[in-house]
Chains A and B, each alone.
Chain A
């Protein structure tokens, strides 16, 4: 158990809908990272937050957004969902930006 929690574990929704994925980092970790893992594309970095501020962006679509709250939990919002958004979404946390990242169990999103 990495200490990172993610909810929900599974999510099934229809195209065009909007969903919110939630992540709670390990106790004391200030950094939260979001990744997308598709079958054919491996792990792709989406976005990094440190203590509530956005620090780095990867290949995150404009339909996706994230935020980190004062209690350090983070949410990833996915809107106008398309079939191709079906994937595993992971968050990871680290104590400081640049430290080892510990991954949560992931949320499996299925868009039908």
Chain B
């Protein structure tokens, strides 16, 4: 089955630093999504990417759909305490009408003030 490798698994940074994380897949995806999950809450959609090479920003967050369609990247600039949480990438493939999301294992972000 399809698998996503997300790295790094965890990050410990200082407030104000930039953050980069990525996901790679063994197969092609049509859509890449990035979510953030706080403890005990549901994942919240941050950015959606639909085209190879697409670069999309949402405030301090920027994500890219890799040109091979097998990878995606998320960058967070000037991190702040509320950025703490687990970030998941998710890839979507399959025939329209019968698609499912495959999730990466998550990147746990911890920020030291």
- Chain B residues within 8 Å of A, Cβ to Cβ: 30-31, 33, 35, 40-45, 48, 88, 90, 92, 94, 96-106
Contacts and interface: CB of A to CB of B under 8 A. Distances in A.
A56 B42 contact: no
B99 A56 contact: yes
Interface of A is mostly: strand
A98 interface: yes
A106 B41 CA distance: 7
A51 B62 CA distance: 34
Contact of A101 (B96, B98, B101, B106): B101
Interface in A62-99: 90, 92, 97-98
A106 B96 contact: no
A42 B98 contact: no
Interface residues of A, number: 24
Given A2-B42, A90-B43, A103-B44, A42 B97 contact: no
Contacts of A108: 40
A58 to B, nearest CB: 6
A44 B40 CA distance: 16
Contacts of A2: 42, 44
15 contacts: A2-B44, A33-B100, A42-B104, A42-B105, A43-B103, A55-B97, A56-B94, A97-B96, A98-B31, A100-B45, A101-B45, A101-B101, A102-B45, A103-B44, A105-B41
